[in-house]
Structure 1
Amino acid sequence: MTNTPTIPAPSSPHSSPPPRRRAPLTLVGAAVDQRITELQRGYLADRSDAVATLARLRRGVGKPANAVPDLWGLGADEAIHQAHADGELPNGQAERAEEAAHIALTLWALHQQSHHTQRMHLRYGPELGAAVRRLMPGPEVDEPIRKRFVRAATATTPTMLAQRLREIVTLLRREAVALDYGLLADQLHQWQQPGGAERVRRSWGRSFHAHRTSDTSPDTADAPGGADENHDSTITNPKDDTL
């Protein structure tokens, strides 16, 4: 008996692209991912120390690293300083790593604000471009949002980039669209390297154009085992369109 080959059904033009496994995070991204995971767990559990830490971190949004002494010791500094002491990060790289981690952590603190049942940092979650595209529910591109995205991509200094990303993160918070902040931290570090800004812009642009709306949530599609490693089964993650 001859087996009839199975012909896959044609994909919808609006379906999400097949998930692809990302490259492992570098030291900076891994340190940020670990620190945010700890704080996020405490914030969702309504622990007073975590709630207070997020409030303090939000004061550093859009400001250079180390410009707010009150934030010393609250971020991913320990891992970065240890790597510097071990010779893994030379002086210039350590400063760039601190800046990248600071921007990512403070933006996440802003993003997570008032979301007490949803994680705004998702390991293996959407890249910045894909997250921005999710703010546009239909097939048409929202021009004001696109312009904000372009403004962020064309920033010329880390501080300018942080300030422009703040506008985007505010929109993501309003619509409860999560982001992979470990990946963002790595990209912010790369952005400061020679030729890195162009590579990061290219990656953001590709993820923006590749994203397609889908009835299924792709937030955890790239995670090993098909689920976000940060998720606890005791906390629900409903879609919340409110502020």
Structure 2
Amino acid sequence: MTSASAPPAAAPVHQRVAELTATLIGSWQEGYLNDRSQAVAALARLRRGAGREAGEMPDLWNLIDTDGLHTSAAGTRTLGEQELVCAENALHAALTLWAFHQQSRGAPMHRRHTRERPGGLGAAVRRLMPADGVDEPVRKRLVRAGTAPDLVSLTQRLRDIVALLRREDIPLDYALLAGQLYLWQWPDGPAAVRRRWGRSFHEQRRPRPASDENISPDTDKDAS
């Protein structure tokens, strides 16, 4: 996948992607945790797309509702063709990774970032490590993801990280991740996202809390 030409600087498209991701996951996650058959079936379909290119699986075409990207609410503008492609790619990647993460977990694996409880990718990876040290193989997984040559390779490498987070019941802010995956696809985007992941990694210095339940959502879209 090649990088596109730069989008209009004033367009907060990554926020629109993040908000739509949060809306879709919020509904599915609640349904899944309450064992609603429709949500359980949707999650099973979604997780088969983890690490695969958007559009590769026709089974997901009528499941992932992208109408929010194609319509313009008050104060927003219509997205250009390349912006739509990048937004749909990011949405697909984030939703399918979440579904893989949530599988068979009894607690929400999508949790919004707050300054008190960082939810970025770097912070989640840091929580896989001892409080007083760095697990070098785990750190290298984050570095390897950051140096992926394209979005498909990146999502495949993120899937490996998500498998570790799933094993330890460590949640992630998938709305925040979706916005970052949108930015990744533009010139200079990979470098900017790597910096955010690095800041997020160093932001999480405390031992892992005993419980991640009952966390209030936050809308800090530009957090690391």
TM-score normalised by the shorter chain: which range applies? 0.7 to 0.9
Runs of 4+ in 1 over 2 A off after TM superposition: 81-84, 214-220
* Structure 2: distance between partners of 1:200 and 1:96: 15
> Of the candidates 34, 40, 48, which is equivalent to residue 59 of structure 1?
48
* Structure 2: distance between partners of 1:89 and 1:42: 31
* Structure 1: distance between partners of 2:58 and 2:181: 22
> Of the candidates 148, 151, 159, which is equivalent to residue 152 of structure 2?
159
How far is the alpha carbon of 1:74 from its aligned partner?
A: 1.6
1:182 partner amino acid: A
The residue that corresponds to 2:67 in the other structure is 78
Larger Rg: 1
**What is the identity percentage for the equivalent residue pairs of Structure 1 and Structure 2?**
51
Alignment coverage as a number of residue pairs? 201
1:1-150 to structure 2, matched below 5 A, reads 26-83=15-72, 87-116=77-106, 118-124=107-113, 126-150=119-143
2:87 partner amino acid: A
1:93 partner amino acid: E
Cα RMSD, aligned residues only: 2.4
Structure 1 residues 185 and 218, CA, compared in 2 at 3 Å: closer, same or farther?
Answer: farther
* Structure 1: distance between partners of 2:110 and 2:208: 21
TM-score by structure 1 length?
Answer: 0.77
How far is the alpha carbon of 1:134 from its aligned partner?
A: 0.1
Structure 1 residues 97 and 83, CA, compared in 2 at 3 Å: closer, same or farther?
Answer: farther
Q: Which runs of 5+ in 2 are unaligned?
A: 1-11, 219-224
How far is the alpha carbon of 1:200 from its aligned partner?
A: 0.5
1:43 partner amino acid: Y
* Structure 1: distance between partners of 2:29 and 2:207: 27
* Structure 2: distance between partners of 1:76 and 1:185: 15
2:216 partner amino acid: D
- Given the alignment of the two structures, is residue 209 of structure 1 paired with residue 202 of structure 2, yes or no? yes
The residue that corresponds to 2:177 in the other structure is 184
1:139-193 Cα shifts (integer Å, max 9, x gaps): 2111111111111010010100000000000000000000001100000001111
1:5-31 Cα shifts (integer Å, max 9, x gaps): xxxxxxxxxxxxxxxxxx997110000
- Given the alignment of the two structures, is residue 229 of structure 1 paired with residue 222 of structure 2, yes or no? no
Q: Which runs of 5+ in 1 are unaligned?
A: 1-22, 221-225, 231-243
